[in-house]
Structure 1
Amino acid sequence: MTAEAVARARALAETVSDPEMPMVSLADLGVLRDVRVDSDDTVVVTITPTYSGCPAMAMIRADIEHTLRSHGYPSVRVDTVLAPAWSSDWITAAGRRKLLEHGYSPPGPAPRRGPTPLSLAPVPRRVTCPHCGSAATERVSEFSATACKALYRCRECLEPFDHVKEI
């Protein structure tokens, strides 16, 4: 397979959207790690889930395979790697902008890696409203439609919104 065909396969894989937040691509989220070709001309796409129990992984794999196969790549394999673990710091600036534009509060800096003190309380965050920009927000639930998001409400404009958690 030519270098041009590999670059085209990468560009196609970069267009695949996250099934839970379709305004961002897997590349925007930092989930797409690598696209390469094996010696038998199989396109191998490497992804890292946002967390190990992410229920969207089967759909993500299927969407990647469908996109590449429908554009002329008959042999596709999607590999999942868990190390290093995905970090919300991997979300690109464009991805953060798209989240904000669509009413999501993007994550702040991820917690420092290494030994973490045990805390049974939810992580405190400074979250601003993606609708009006107010910092007067309150957490309604630590879990929203998916485990990687928390549900907040703005005390100024009263709008609810999801906050993508720092991981």
Structure 2
Amino acid sequence: MEYRYDLNEKTLYIDENRIPAHSLENNEIGNCTNCDSILMSLSYHATGEYMAVITRCTSCGAFYANIYDSDWNWVDEIQVMLLPIPIPISNPVIDSWEDLKNVPIKKLEAVFSKGEIEALFDRAKDRTPVRQYLYRARKKYELFEEIFDLRLEL
């Protein structure tokens, strides 16, 4: 059987069976077979007649499924493969009126002045913005992206 684990969703996959966590308690479970350091639990999964406790070594970072029977007697330890975590290649791009109007105004106000926000909306609507405000706003695009993970291209 292949044991795979999704760190984002805290979900265990045994072969093609998806088993969500029923508990996310952090407990010391035992010692790592690789380096003898402490194993800490990440999540608990009921797998029929057994309980699978997903653990991570505090030293070497190895992941295991520790298998227990219904009386919490240790049965087995199985190394777990992690599912890849999707990493966005780039931040979402705001380059149209439709995109800009969906950005919460509080986010815009956190970085831009009122005049700069008006200039951004004018530019997005293909109207002539106040040039100085648009120029100042564009100097803050990088800061806005750093804070909110949204790239402005207006």
Give TM-score scaled by structure 1 length.
0.23
Is the radius of gyration larger for structure 1 or structure 2? 2
**Greater relative contact order (Cα < 8 A, sep 6+):** 1
| Higher fraction of strand | 2
